[in-house]
Amino acid sequence: MRNVDAAGLGIGDDHPPRIMGVLNVSAESPYDPSVYDDPGEAAEYVDEELIGEGADIVDVGLESANKDLDVLSAEEELERLDVAIETLESTSGDAVWSIETRYHEVADAALSRGFDMVNDVCGFADPEMPRVCREHDAAVSKMASPPDLERPGAIEDVDEIYDALSMNGFTDKTILDPAFGGWSVEKTHADDRETFRRLREFRGYGRPLLVSINRKSFLKTIAGRSTEEALPVSLAATSMAVERGAHVIRTHDVAETRDAALVGETFARSRPSHDGPVSAEELDVTTVREAERHLDRLDAPRAVADGAVVHTYELSGLSPEAVGALRAAADGDAAAFAVGGRAGSADAEAATGAEGARGDADRGLLVGTADGLSSVVSSVSGVSEPLDAALATIDDT
């Protein structure tokens, strides 16, 4: 995993989760507590409610990305930049300052006047954005979007998000955002939930991930909550996102989100790594598709992806014939079958008696890769209808 240096702030697997607090200088923005048009009031909010509560990054929005509102031009965004600059210059706290924009002209002006990084909500739909970020040696968050400056985040098919993230390439300091939220009419809550379930997949590019899930509809509708009541579901999702590999959490609720992110980090599975002339890193891979993404990044054959993920199933109610068939079929490197109670072994009978040893003989664990399990299912097909019915579930995974 590539780590990103954002004006001295480390972002990536080697660093704690980072909190991006939100400030809007656009009156049309939907979340009132973060909206300010007076630089003095905005600076006080940033110092007390964002940096003071633990924000590592302050993300300043010049316009609302609401799909129902007219898109501002670069010139109109530049007219609002002065308020953002005055706010930055009036704060006393220490944080990385990010400008949210879709235009390279605005990014260039902001970076030239004190901002540290860019949050590109159109994901390099402006092809000059990568050049500007490189010239300023600035980190940039890139949100999955179509090649259209007026449709940020409007990727309707979850299967297209991954490819959208690579539009117009990357800089050395690119952070990826899979675009949660209602960016288009066609995008559904179910789409966002699937994207969240597949969050690890977006680590396939080997770059840090940013998620913006605070009080989003795809979460609050799970619990039937309004925006004002949606903090608990946001915090639950924050912990899960960090556990699944997110590195930056964008939020309006800084203190609470920071705590939730630290919980997620604490309980994330430890993966060994080594830096040296030869480096090694265990990847966070839980599905074949996730493995394929990493292989694609290395331009390596996908054929080995199946072996990256092992599934374990417990089977019960097995007849002696089913046990024998499974043992015979799962005798290779790609699948194995172990019967409960070590049925038939001398050690088991000596330890528990013949009856005890047979007590779990109708149960067993079937372990294997997707291809290995598929081969077992095919080999034992027809042994019994109940076994076929049970293994049909396995063959669908």
Query: For 327-350, what is each residue's pLDDT tens digit?
Result: 999 987 899 999 987 544 544 444
Q: Is residue 318, in this structure, part of any structural domain at all? A: yes
Please give the pLDDT value at position 356. 39
67 plus 211 within the same structural domain: yes
Rg (CA), the chain: 26
Entry pTM: 0.90
66 plus 198 within the same structural domain: yes
In this predicted structure, the answer to whether residue 126 has a pLDDT above a threshold of 90 is yes
- pLDDT (tens digit, 9 = 90+) per residue, 135-194? 999 999 999 999 999 899 899 899 999 999 999 999 999 999 999 987 888 889 999 999
233 plus 371 within the same structural domain: no
- Cα separation, 84 vs 278, in Å, equals 45
- Cα separation, 192 vs 22, in Å, equals 21
234 plus 342 within the same structural domain: no
Q: Is residue 302, in this structure, part of any structural domain at all? A: no
Please give the pLDDT value at position 182. 77
Closest CA to 42 of 51, 94, 8, 259: 51
262 plus 326 within the same structural domain: no
Diameter over CA atoms, the chain: 85
Q: Is residue 298, in this structure, part of any structural domain at all? A: no
- pLDDT (tens digit, 9 = 90+) per residue, 212-263? 999 999 999 999 999 999 999 999 999 999 999 999 999 999 999 999 999 9
Q: What is the percentage of the chain residues whose pLDDT exceeds 90?
A: 80
Please give the pLDDT value at position 394. 83
User: Residue 381 sits in which domain range?
Assistant: 310-395
Q: What is the percentage of the chain residues whose pLDDT exceeds 70?
A: 91
139 plus 32 within the same structural domain: yes
189 plus 120 within the same structural domain: yes
Q: Is residue 274, in this structure, part of any structural domain at all? A: no
| Amino acid at site 341 | G
Q: Which pair of structure tokens corresponds to residue 273?
A: 């790594």
Domain end: 268, 298, 318, which one? Answer: 268
Span 1-20, mean pLDDT? 96
When divided into structural domains, the chain yields a total of: 2
Domain end: 268, 301, 320, which one? Answer: 268
Please give the pLDDT value at position 28. 63
In this predicted structure, the answer to whether residue 278 has a pLDDT above a threshold of 50 is yes
Q: Is residue 224, in this structure, part of any structural domain at all? A: yes
Please give the pLDDT value at position 175. 98
Domain end: 209, 234, 268, which one? Answer: 268
Closest CA to 125 of 160, 159, 94, 101: 101
